[in-house]
Amino acid sequence: MMVFYAMATVMIVSVIYGLGRVLLRATPAVQVSSQRLNAAIYRDQLHALERDRTIGVISDVDYETTRSELQLRLLDETQDAGKAATRSPTYFWTPRLTFAVVAILISVGGPVLYAWLGNAGVIVGSETSRRPGDNPQILQMVDALASRLEANPDNPKGWAMLARSYKVLGRFEDAEKAYLKAGTILNSDPELMVDYADLLAIRANSIDGKPLELVNEALQIDPFQPTGLMMSGVAAYRRGDFALAIRQWEKLLTVLEPGSSDAQQVAADIAQAKTKTDLKP
């Protein structure tokens, strides 16, 4: 077990060191998306989940449940890169601040998600895992970001990104409070709207109500918002409206990379929904 932790620590430090050299050097043309790095972390968790099912660590029911939750978060990070490139730059994110947040996501995001999905015991056995919220270094970094925003609260994008950081760390109540401080941006940015909807769905353990309202509003602004389409389809599927679920997921396929793992999974979901209607796959 000590060998495992040593190897994991070396890999994490190596990755953070490499990112630090890229992010902190004076090269303004180079930009690193913390969201895409976060998506890579989520994909690693999905692969680990698939391995656990293969070796019989988790049941098929647990696999399907956690895979669906993980997929919702993945889709938010797999939007077309060209679309992201056209957005206005966010000057709140200096290279140093970006490096700090990315370091949090890399060093904590994977273990947090793995523990949240109920698989931490596979790694540590009967040992007691240390919760990320108990790590003073992580708390210091997140609190520093929060303090910066408290001193300069007129920064909707900053509050939204703090909310996402809290969400990754599993601090859902703090994430919701941060989102509420983002102000009217939650009424106009479809990406943030669906992320906030996802947060509310996690807290309520249900997509119905306010989360689904936010998803529908986001899709009115951007009818091809990936996470919104997925969540809308899931809600429709759960209430038995399989035709709507199929339409939403077929629309989702048009914005996913053909042949990607996400596209393949959505296609499988569509086929499953069609078995419950008069439509044939």
Q: For the chain, what is the HEC assignment?
A: CHHHHHHHHHHHHHHHHHHHHHHHCCCCCCCCCHHHHHHHHHHHHHHHHHHHHHCCCCCHHHHHHHHHHHHHHHHCCCCCHHHHHCCCCCCCCCHHHHHHHHHHHHHHHHHHHHHHCCCHHHHHCCCCCCCHHHCHHHHHHHHHHHHHHHHCCCCHHHHHHHHHHHHHCCCHHHHHHHHHCCHHHHHCCHHHHHHHHHHHHHHHCCCCCHHHHHHHHHHHHCCCCHHHHHHHHHHHHHCCCHHHHHHHHHHHHCCCCCCCHHHHHHHHHHHHHHCCCCCCC
- Residue 129: the pLDDT is 43
**pLDDT tens digits along 177-232:** 999 998 888 888 999 999 999 999 999 988 999 999 999 999 999 999 999 999 99
Q: Is residue 114 scored above 70 in pLDDT?
A: no
Highest average pLDDT, of 3-12, 45-54, 109-118, 178-187, comes from 178-187
- Residue 62: the pLDDT is 61
Please name each of the domains of the chain with its CATH number. 1-129 (no CATH), 136-185 (no CATH), 188-281 (1.25.40.10)
Q: Which residue has better confidence, 67 or 214?
A: 214
pLDDT band, very low/low/confident/very high, at 81 (cuts 50, 70, 90) = very low
- Give 254's contacts (C-beta < 8 A, 6+ positions apart): 224
Burial class (CB in 10 A: 0-12, 13-18, 19+), 263: middle
**pLDDT tens digits along 260-281:** 999 999 999 999 999 987 654 4
Is residue 118 left, alpha or beta, with left meaning phi > 0 and alpha meaning psi from -120 to 50?
left
- Residue 252: the pLDDT is 94
In this structure, how many other beta carbons lie within 10 angstroms of the beta carbon of residue 280? 7
Give the mean pLDDT of 237-266: 93
What is the spatial distance between Cα 232 and Cα 183, in angstroms, rounded to a whole number?
A: 24
Q: Which residue has better confidence, 12 or 166?
A: 166
CB 34 within 8 A of CB 16: no
- Residue 49: the pLDDT is 67
CB 133 within 8 A of CB 168: no
**pLDDT tens digits along 12-47:** 555 555 555 544 554 443 333 445 555 556 666 666
- Give 224's contacts (C-beta < 8 A, 6+ positions apart): 251, 254, 255
